[in-house]
Amino acid sequence: MVVIRLARHGRHKYPTYRIVAADKRRAATSKFLDILGTYNPHTKELTLKKEQIAAYLKNGAQASDRVLRLLQSQDVELPKWAKTHDRNKSPKSEPVEEATDTKEEATEPAEVSTETAEATVEVANEKAEKAEKTAQEVKDSAGTSKEADKKDADDKKTEAVAEAVEETVKKEVKKEA
């Protein structure tokens, strides 16, 4: 597969980049198929061979996220499937409620209906049951049965050592008495 990516170029502690078309399996700084442009991050200077880039993209070359952003800044026409990752995207979890500013509102007890509390308890119980089932499935699966057996054997050895220590302590207490 052909990718369009940045390849570091330039002197020590002052990188500049080439925009290259390369085989995905090769290292980022190794052989490449074609130089499609250059980018200097210090001066924000960008030069592109727009026709060649368009030809590579038309033939299915995958551009890296940074290269796509650079191409968008230069108004290069991109295929519909070429998308950048949104760094500012919020996580999938629910948003956190902000704390209240006034002390009066913060000291008032929260009103929770019994139905809501019961529903929450049911959901928690279901999650606990699922966790137990998956733990049991992992223990029962063929790939981890040896690990489970080894852990059981280690636990038995630990118990035997603990019992032996208790017996010796009891004997020493009897001798002292």
Each residue's pLDDT tens digit, 20-51: 999 989 888 888 999 999 999 999 999 999 99
Query: What pLDDT digit, counting tens, does each position of 108-121 carry?
Result: 545 555 666 566 66
Closest CA to 55 of 36, 70, 69: 36
**Residue 63: what are its φ and ψ, rounded to 5°?**
-95, 145
CA distance 86 to 75: 19
Q: Is the pLDDT of residue 71 over 60?
A: yes
Query: What pLDDT digit, counting tens, does each position of 145-159 carry?
Result: 667 777 777 777 777
* Strands (E) located in the chain: 2-11, 14-23, 34-40, 45-48, 62-63
Higher pLDDT, 143 or 147: 147
Going by CATH, does the domain composed of 2-73 fall within 3.30.1320.10? yes
State whether the Cα torsion 116-122-124-126 is positive or negative.
Answer: negative
Q: Where are the domains of the chain?
A: 2-73, 115-174
Stated pTM of the model: 0.48
